[in-house]
Amino acid sequence: MGEIGEFAREARGELVRGIGVRGVWEGEAEWREAFAEVPRHLFVPYYYVGVRGGYERRWGEHADFRQRERWLRGVYEDVPLATRLRDGELVSSSSQPSLMAIMLVELGVRDGDTVLEIGAGTGYNAALLSHRLGDEHVTTVDLDPEITESARRHLDAAGYHPTVVTGDGARGVPERAPFDRIIATCALPSVPRAWLAQCAPGGRILTPLATGLVLLRVADAAHAEGHFLDTPAYFVPLRGDTPPEPPLPRLEGLPRRARGDDLFRFLLTLTAGGLDPREAYALWEREGEPPRERYGITVDGDRAWSWLDDPEGPYVWPLP
């Protein structure tokens, strides 16, 4: 175990340096310290990697030291890790560390802020938040009791004790509200109104939506608005009462470069309630293949819509 611990410290240092090369830590020494101190391997005692015909399980208790070392090397690579499968379907994962770092930095927490995390996962993200803010300021929620129980065990093993709640993340955790920040680590088709009601005025909500990340500034319980970040993001869907995202339409007949373009597919997903593929392609070309940060979301009472450049401009589309 001593050899494992030493290797983990070195691998964690390499991971932090690699993330730093991207400029993520600039002016963010607290988050750099959190990633350097919180041991990811305690939150991922096993994970699955895709192989021909299915998945291969790698775990830290393997009898062969070389296999344990292989597991540990994988833990500290800057990649997402599949941590829970059900009937061959991915239901939980540990997100890519560099993406987690970007999200936590963009969340813009300050000392004393309270944070609600939607999607407990392995507990690793909640541990990073607890390291930065203190256990008493962090709440994490997940629908699956198996996930929340394993997250509690991982957090205990690492010495962190935030509040872990089993429940529907789309409904938030009203008994712990209000929160200064809400961060989701699972994908949704829209922004649950319960989050706005549980977020303090002036707070922020950061959530995956349509293969992107939208950062909303909350005005009050009925109003929020914000832009997408420039980074793509792919997360396991939120499970619960929230309806699933509609499947992408068929793209036959469109130019090959559009069919394979990540930003075009983002536009299609974001505007599924208002544009067909040919209309989306015409807009995409006309507007110079706009990057994610030109898009945004507005929530106004019972209405919510996505937009390009201007929430009151010509390009607006309803969200579910």
Q: What residues are labeled active site?
A: 92
How far is residue 294's CA from residue 183's CA, in Å, rounded to a whole number? 21
Helices (H), the chain: 2-21, 29-37, 65-75, 97-107, 124-133, 145-158, 193-198, 256-259, 262-270, 277-286
CA atoms within 13 A on the CB side of 24: 25
198 neighbors 177 (Cβ within 8 angstroms): yes
How far is residue 100's CA from residue 94's CA, in Å, rounded to a whole number? 9
Q: Which residues pair with 303 in a beta bridge?
A: 300
- Residue type, position 302, single letter: D
Strands 179-184 and 163-166, bridge-based pairing:
unpaired
Whose CA is closest to 182, among 103, 116, 129, 125? 116
- Residues 6 or more apart in contact with residue 276 via CB below 8 angstroms: 249
- Residue type, position 222, single letter: A
- Residue type, position 55, single letter: Y
C-alpha dist (Å) from residue 126 to 174, 216, 310:
18, 20, 34
Cis peptide before 243 (omega within 30 of 0): no
Structure tokens at 147: 């996930």
